[in-house]
Chains A and B, each alone.
Chain A
Amino acid sequence: MAETGRRRGLTAYLLMAPAVIVLALFFVIPFYSLVAASLYEPGGSDKNGWEVTYHFANYWDAVELYWRPLVRSLVYAGAATLICLVLGYVLAYAIAFKSGRWKSLLLVLVIAPFFTSFLVRTLSWQLILADDGWIVDTLQFLHVLGDDDRLLATNFAVVMGLAYNFLPFMVLPLFASIDKIDHRLIEASGDLYSNPVVGFFKVTWPLSLPGVVSGTLLTFIPAAGDYINAELLGNTETSVIGSVIQLQATDANHPHTAAALSMILMIGILAMVLFYIRKAGTEDLL
């Protein structure tokens, strides 16, 4: 018995080897180099090179200069995630429970936007939300928007762009969770005199929580790092941390600042995610 146990362990480790190697090559080493870059002496240049001097002040300097885009990124991502959750839940629920024979088609439609490039889709929103586009014209006619108000180049456009682009990442895990729910449990709640609303919150919602957690994470994490939406749909006051990192890494040629900001973003998101998973009580997902 002990023998087989050990052998099973060995097999497991062997089976894991490819994944471990891939992770080491594509995660650990780049991560290490990122840590190193974030500790460069700030005075370096292409000519004189960059030396690692454990200059931890890079972190503080980066936060001091760029805390606004950092906070902005998290707020945008949070708002977009919330919108996605509401829209995505309704959509996933409808597809899972109410769509009948249209289920597969609807699922394909959720993924369909991916057949076009992310960039092209975001650029199209520029046209749709343009100042003299029909949406703005209509809203101005209805006096929802004032004559000088606009949609493009506002916080709203950025959050909407994020929500639009990451919606499928929310819908799919939600669908997977909701679709698995046993209908008889919901019926049973009815038999026990719960009305549909209470039944939803006592049965459906808790059972779909794994989907909610993975959906929100899959939406929030990439949305926090995205800068295409802010750049194409925002204005000069909506720049997010991704733009800053990109500018610092290329144009400004400050690898230490770019690396420090990347580390801060990574650590920040990791901390938020761990806290969130603890709170949501779904540590078993890990």
Chain B
Amino acid sequence: MVPEQPARRSTLSRRGLLKGGGAVAFGGLSIAALKLPMFGIDPVQACPNGGAAKDVSADERELVISNWTGYIDPRKNPKSTLAQFQDQTGISVTYNVDINDNAEFYAKVKNQMRACEPIDRDMIVMTDWMAARMISLGFIQPLNKGNVPNLDKNLIESLQGVPWDPEREYSAPWQSGLTGIAYNADLVPEVSSFEELITRDDLKGKITLLSEMADTMGFFLKVTGADPVDFDDDEWAAAIDRLREVKESGQLLQFAGNNYLQQLSQGTLLACEAWSGDVIQAQYDNPNLKFVVPEEGLSLWSDNMMVPNYATHQTHAETWIDYYYQPEVAAKLAAWVNYICPVQGAQEAMLDIDPSLAENPLIFPDSEMLANTWDFMTLTDEKQSQYEGEWADVISS
């Protein structure tokens, strides 16, 4: 074997260079830490012109939307709601499915929004608590009510006023849903309350709870005797303690984001906290999956369409909202998505599409069912951060 040539170290040795580089970097950082601006984040400031951009809708027949995955009927179909929207209005829609998680999407756009820069979308769809946060931070443009007559006319009553947007000036529900319990009727007897779900021995280690704080904590507040619509710090603390207890008892398999129904169908899970629309969709494949209204009630939430600051096609976005608030269009969408349809009159329109769905209380809940629902208290920014922090402490420790 030929001995290797010793590395030439006269001018530059790798190790010397690394050491030198390290020293320079360290020195630089130390100086920087003392002198340079510190990468702090300034308080939110009002954007010039109220965050409104010049609306170029008249010249550009375009609309850019970001929505959640699987939340619209198949777009390629020439008869789909989206294709017909494009035909009727001549607006070409760029429909992105780049929202998977409220917090994640928010993290992606918040720096631009804080800096009063456009996020290159004309419409985004966010769940209540995140919609509330964005509106309170001034990131959202008010809707021009003159352009959305159908919204005012057809929005179902239970969604008309929400505490964070009492007049629906900024937001329009895209779809709503209920959070309740699903179980596999093939494998276990009915799970009729949340209390049962978190205590029953035959479910031990075979249930999941949702990883959305508001969904799961709403139930824990109920179980500990508080009201999720209006609670104080002590009641919250009691609910968090109960959650910790349940977690440490080994009752839970996981905190689930979105693939819980597959596991429920396979039998890895026997029951879980679940979103209504997911369960209805999964029932097409496995009729043994059942959705129950727990004795504690249901949590009612919406995903809301909103126009972010500096959107340049606001008028088109409003045309879109108005279009989807026509009962026929809403029924067609609901027949595919299977969540709660927020549009009055869609139930009658659904009779023409699929009468069985028109009678499904999880898509068109009756007043009795709605009386049994709550929507989670709207939290201030500080409280949201505190509660989410304590929630995170429990689920990730």
A→B interface (CB under 8 Å): 5, 8-9, 12, 28, 31-33, 35-37, 40, 44-52, 65-66, 68-69, 123, 126-127, 130-132, 150, 152-153, 182, 184-185, 231, 234-237, 239, 243-244, 247-254, 257, 283-284, 286
Q: Which residue of A lies closest to B45 (CB)?
A: A49
Are A252's CB and B28's CB within 8 A? no
**Residues of B contacting A286 in the complex (Cβ-Cβ under 8 angstroms):** 14-15, 18
Q: Known contacts A46-B381, A236-B253, A254-B389; can you find 18 more A-B pairs with CB under 8 A?
A: A28-B25, A40-B40, A44-B41, A47-B44, A49-B40, A50-B41, A51-B40, A126-B268, A130-B266, A130-B268, A131-B206, A185-B1, A235-B253, A236-B395, A239-B397, A244-B396, A248-B389, A284-B15
Residue pair A35, B29 in contact (C-beta under 8 Å): yes
Q: Pick from B18, B29, B42, B392 the residue with the most CB of A within 10 Å.
A: B392
17 CB < 8 A contacts A-B: A12-B11, A28-B29, A35-B29, A36-B40, A45-B381, A49-B41, A65-B397, A68-B397, A69-B396, A69-B397, A126-B263, A150-B205, A244-B396, A244-B397, A249-B107, A252-B389, A254-B392
Task: Please report the C-alpha to C-alpha distance between residue A237 and residue B254 in the assembled complex, in whole angstroms.
Answer: 9
The answer, among A9, A131, A243, A247, for a CB contact under 8 Å with B267, is A131
Given known A36-B38, A250-B107, A251-B213, contact A153–B392 (CB-CB < 8 A): no
Docked CA distance A128–B366 (Å): 42
- Report B262 CB to chain A, min CB distance, Å: 8
Residue of B32, B104, B136 touching A47 (CB-CB under 8 A): B136
CA distance A107 to B267 in the complex (A): 38
Residues of A near B12 (CB, < 8 A) are 9, 12
Question: In the complex, what residue of chain B is closest to A185 when comparing beta carbons?
Answer: B1
Residues in chain B near residue A50, CB distance under 8 A = 40-41
Cα(A50)–Cα(B253), bound, Å:
36
B11, B107, B136: the one contacting A8 at CB < 8 Å is B11
A179 to chain B, nearest CB (A): 15
* CB neighbours of B38 from chain A (8 A): 36, 52
Q: CB-defined interface of B244-255 with A at 8 Å, one 1/0 digit per residue? A: 000100101111
Interchain CB contact under 8 A, A33 and B39: yes
> Within 8 Å CB of B267, what residues of A?
130-132
The CA of A217 and the CA of B60, in the complex, are separated in Å by 54
Q: Which residues of B contact A66 (CB under 8 A)?
A: 396-397
**Interface status of B43 (Cβ within 8 A of chain A):** yes
Neighbouring B residues of A48 by C-beta, 8 Å: 43, 381
Interface pair A49/B395, CB less than 8 Å apart = no
The digit string for B228-268, where 1 denotes a CB below 8 A from any CB of A, is: 00000000000000000001001011110001000100111
CB distance from B51 to the nearest CB of A (A): 15
State the CA gap A182–B12 with chains docked (Å): 30
Q: Is the CB of A250 within 8 A of B104?
A: yes
B75 adjacent to chain A (CB < 8 Å)? no
Q: Which of A35, A36, A45, A239 contacts B382 (CB 8 A)?
A: A45
CB distance from B62 to the nearest CB of A (A): 30
CA distance A69 to B394 in the complex (A): 12
Docked complex Cα distance between A182 and B1 (Å): 8
Against A, the Cβ 8 Å flags (1 = close, 0 = not) of B369-395 are 000000000000110110011011101
Binding site for A on B (CB under 8 A): 1, 10-12, 14-15, 18, 25, 28-29, 32-33, 38-44, 101, 103-104, 106-107, 110, 133, 136-137, 205-206, 213, 247, 250, 252-255, 259, 263, 266-268, 381-382, 384-385, 388-389, 391-393, 395-397
Least CB separation from A257: chain B residue? B389
Nearest residue, chain A, Cβ from B15: A286
Contacts of A12 in B (CB 8 A): 11-12
Question: Do A235 and B381 have beta carbons less than 8 Å apart?
Answer: no
CB proximity of A162 to chain B, nearest CB, Å = 17
| B384 in contact with A239 (CB, 8 Å) | no
Please state if B385 and A254 are interface contacts (CB–CB under 8 Å): yes
A123 to B133, CA, bound (A): 33
Q: Do residues B259 and A123 form an inter-chain contact, with CB atoms below 8 A?
A: yes
Partner of B101, one of A35, A68, A250, A283: A250
Q: Chain B contacts of A283 at CB under 8 A?
A: 15
Closest to A9 in B: B11
Contacts of B10 in A (CB 8 A): 5
Residues in B neighbouring A231, C-beta threshold 8 A: 254
A52 to B35, CA, bound (A): 13
Q: Which of chain A's residues has its CB closest to B104's CB?
A: A250
A251, closest chain B residue (CB)? B103
The distance from the CB of B291 to the nearest CB of chain A, in whole angstroms, is 22
Is A236 within 8 A of B388, CB to CB? no
The 9 closest A-B pairs by CB, nearest first: A36-B39, A250-B103, A52-B38, A49-B43, A50-B41, A252-B388, A252-B392, A247-B392, A252-B389
CB <8 Å contact, B25 and A235:
no
Q: In the docked arrangement, what's the CA distance between A51 and B263, Å?
A: 44
A28 to B395 CA separation, bound complex (whole angstroms): 33
- Across the interface, do B268 and A152 meet the contact criterion of CB distance under 8 Å? yes
- Using CB atoms, name the residue of chain B closest to A15: B12
Q: Shortest CB–CB separation between residue B368 and chain A, in angstroms?
A: 34
Q: Shortest Cβ distance from B46 into chain A, in angstroms?
A: 12
The CA of A239 and the CA of B211, in the complex, are separated in Å by 13
Q: List, in ascending order, chain B residues with CB within 8 A of A44's CB.
A: 41
Residues of A within 8 A of B11 (CB): 5, 8-9, 12
B29 contacts which chain A residues (CB < 8 A)? 28, 31-32, 35
Q: Is the CB of A37 within 8 A of B39?
A: yes
